[in-house]
Amino acid sequence: MLSALITSSARRKLLIRFLTHPEERFYPTQLMRELGLSSSLVQKELARLSATGLLRSEREGNARFYSVNTRHPLYAELKSIVYKTEGLGDLLRDHLSSVQGVPVALIYGSVARNAEDAASDVDLLVIGNVSPPRLDEALMEAEGLLGREVSATVLDTEEWRERVNRQQAFAMEILRQPKVFLIGGEDDLR
């Protein structure tokens, strides 16, 4: 879906990397190696993104490092789009799709509120009747690719309904706060 909005594959890969790792700095050679891009593409796209103010650059010795400008006016919106499409959201969605019995899965907490830092884990709520070993396997694979811990809360469908009906604090907090749906939607959650 993001590819329909941002047609440059290199720019898309760079945006995903920077927006999903907002407190990290990267140098061009590192980005070339990790993203499988040519030197000229990386240099060109870093220059374009820096010119918009979305990326900051700083020189340390002979190396130039780039980081995302979290104060840029479009930062929160771009980050939200990336997380809902090809970034964190798509990666978790792909891994969860291999787990049977998941009608609802969503990201909540600091990541959903765009308030995470480098040490933040990804809070995940999975509602359904799932195989714990299969879910653990899928989440471990996702964590390895994301380079971030995923903290999953798993509730079976009846337990979730019961918590909502009792207006239990955790359930009410999930219903009220921002969230990023990976599987299902607001109607499925209620």
Structure tokens at 20: 């999903």
- Per DSSP, the chain holds a count of helices (H) and strands (E) of 10, 6
Q: Grade residue 4 by pLDDT with cuts at 50, 70 and 90.
A: low
In the predicted model, what is the mean pLDDT of residues 127-156?
87
pLDDT at 85 over 70: no
Residue 3: predicted pLDDT: 56
Residue 190: predicted pLDDT: 77
Residue 73: predicted pLDDT: 94
3-state class (DSSP) for residue 31: helix
Query: Percentage of the chain with pLDDT > 70?
Result: 92
| HEC readout, 53-109 | CCEEEEEECCEEEEEECCCCCCHHHHHHHHHHCCCHHHHHHHHHCCCCCCCEEEEEC
Q: Grade residue 84 by pLDDT with cuts at 50, 70 and 90.
A: low
In the predicted model, what is the mean pLDDT of residues 99-103?
91
Type of residue at 62: N
Residue 38: predicted pLDDT: 93
pLDDT at 25 over 80: yes
**Environment class of 77 (CB within 10 Å of its CB; exposed 0-12, middle 13-18, buried 19+):** exposed
Contact between 57 and 65 under an 8 Å Cβ cutoff? The reply is yes
pTM for the model stands at 0.63
Same fold, 2-68 and 87-189: no
CATH number for the domain whose boundaries are 87-189 = 3.30.460.10
Instruction: Spell out the domain ranges in the chain.
Output: 2-68, 87-189
In the predicted model, what is the mean pLDDT of residues 73-84?
83
3-state class (DSSP) for residue 181: strand
pLDDT at 10 over 80: yes
CATH number for the domain whose boundaries are 2-68 = 1.10.10.10
pLDDT at 1 over 70: no
